[in-house]
């Protein structure tokens, strides 16, 4: 048997998953004067979430630190790998007025749109 066949994870019955941050799905709703971004992130605590916003861009990082089992993991697919997502918004937002809540595994970020100055024509 060739070395390639022996080390093939499929032949061993389990395929290894790559170690990388897995993005999560989001919903983005335009309510006219604000955007609301919702993401399902079950099993986290509020302190596991890091949210930042800059102009048109919202970044959500979910990095769980808990759920440490004693012993040595032979396989770990449920964590603690963090997940990250950058959401591009169609308009700039008022960074200082952004708010977020996390309840029942759902993160909801409310991003008020930046008020544009109304141009006044001089007669």
Predicted confidence at residue 110, as pLDDT, reads 98
Per domain, the residue ranges of the chain are: 20-66+80-112
Mind listing the pLDDT tens digit of every residue in the chain (123 residues)? 555 545 544 444 445 555 455 578 999 999 999 999 999 998 889 999 999 999 899 999 988 765 556 678 777 666 556 788 999 999 999 999 999 999 999 999 999 999 877 777 888
Predicted confidence at residue 52, as pLDDT, reads 97
Predicted confidence at residue 55, as pLDDT, reads 86
Rg (CA), the chain: 21
Q: Could you please report the per-residue DSSP string of 1-70?
A: --HHHHT-GGGGT-PPPP-SPPP--EEEEE-SSEEEEEEE-TT--GGGEEEEEETTEEEEEE-----PPS
Architecture of domain 20-66+80-112: Sandwich (2.60)
């Amino acid at each position: 048997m060739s070395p390639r066949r022996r080390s093939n994870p499929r032949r061993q019955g389990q395929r290894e998953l790559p170690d990388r941050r897995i993005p999560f799905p989001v919903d983005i709703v335009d309510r006219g004067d604000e955007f609301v971004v919702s993401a399902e992130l079950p099993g986290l605590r509020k302190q596991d979430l890091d949210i930042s916003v800059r102009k048109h861009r919202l970044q959500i990082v979910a990095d769980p630190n808990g759920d440490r089992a004693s012993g040595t993991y032979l396989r770990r697919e449920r964590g603690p790998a963090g997940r990250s997502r950058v959401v591009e918004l169609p308009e700039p937002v008022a960074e200082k007025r952004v708010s977020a809540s996390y309840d029942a595994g759902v993160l909801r970020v409310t991003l008020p749109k930046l008020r544009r100055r109304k141009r006044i024509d001089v007669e």
